[in-house]
Amino acid sequence: MEIFPAIDLLDSKAVRLTKGDKSSAKIYGNALDFAKYFEDCGAKWLHVIDLDGAFEGSPRNLNTIESIVNNTSLRVQVGGGIRTEETIINYMRTGATRTILGSIAVQDSEWCKNMALQYPIAISIDSKHGKVATHGWVEVSQIDALSFVKRFANSQIEAIICTDINQDGLLSGMNLRLTQEIACASNIFTIASGGFSNIKELDEIKKYSQIGGVIIGKAFYEGIVDFKNIKF
């Protein structure tokens, strides 16, 4: 199982939100310093979200992300406001390994599948009460998450990132049942996100055979999980 330490960027700083609420942002410090720490702990991947980009619809922290790529050996998957091919290309030029499409995937899933024929693409399935949310989780559609992910079955999409917004940032445990269902419906490498609570949960996640990875954010920043104690 692949472990993805997470950095959420707001005004170039590493922050965490609760349930995606921008007003709940808690600043933790310099993003590059955290990225280097994760690398020192043995991490191979880094999950980065440009929150400014997610809320505003276009990237706002490109320089910070480029700095992380250039100053670590981490493979970086990045998302937040990526809605054009030009933006995907710009991230590829920085050295990012994979770009994450969210809101645009709801608006135009065929375009996303076409992009995946040319670039390394992940799709973010962010759900609230089983319905897909977009635009920085501010808008909730009437699209069922399980039905939605089936659009990408048999495509070249590299990964699906499944987040239950109701769990995100609460440190109360992940919605692993939903993540497993998403993985089975798509047959694509699926990453669990939102609500990771403690190191013991890693053993629980491993019981779900279709889940390929997990994103860990707030549990680290709040001192509950030390990446030095995790085998990457």
| Residue 200's CATH number | 3.20.20.70
Residue-by-residue pLDDT tens, the chain, 232 positions: 999 999 999 999 999 988 878 888 999 999 999 999 999 999 999 999 999 998 888 889 999 999 999 999 999 999 999 999 999 999 999 999 999 999 899 999 999 999 999 999 999 999 988 899 887 777 888 899 999 999 999 999 999 999 998 887 778 899 999 999 999 999 999 999 999 999 999 999 999 999 999 999 999 999 999 999 999 9
Catalytic (active site) residue 21: no
- Distance (Å, whole) CA 24 – CA 165: 14
Catalytic (active site) residue 126: yes
List the catalytic residue out of 52, 126, 164, 168: 126
- Distance (Å, whole) CA 68 – CA 63: 9
Domain that holds residue 127: 2-229
List the catalytic residue out of 8, 50, 164, 168: 8
Q: Which residues are CB-neighbours of 114 under 8 A, at least 6 positions away?
A: none
- Distance (Å, whole) CA 91 – CA 154: 25
- Per DSSP, the residues of 97-124 read SEEEE-HHHHH-HHHHHHHHTTS-EEEE
Residue 54 per-residue DSSP state: H
User: Which pTM does this prediction carry?
Assistant: 0.94
Number of domains in the chain: 1
Count of alpha carbons within 13 Å of 215, Cβ hemisphere only? 30
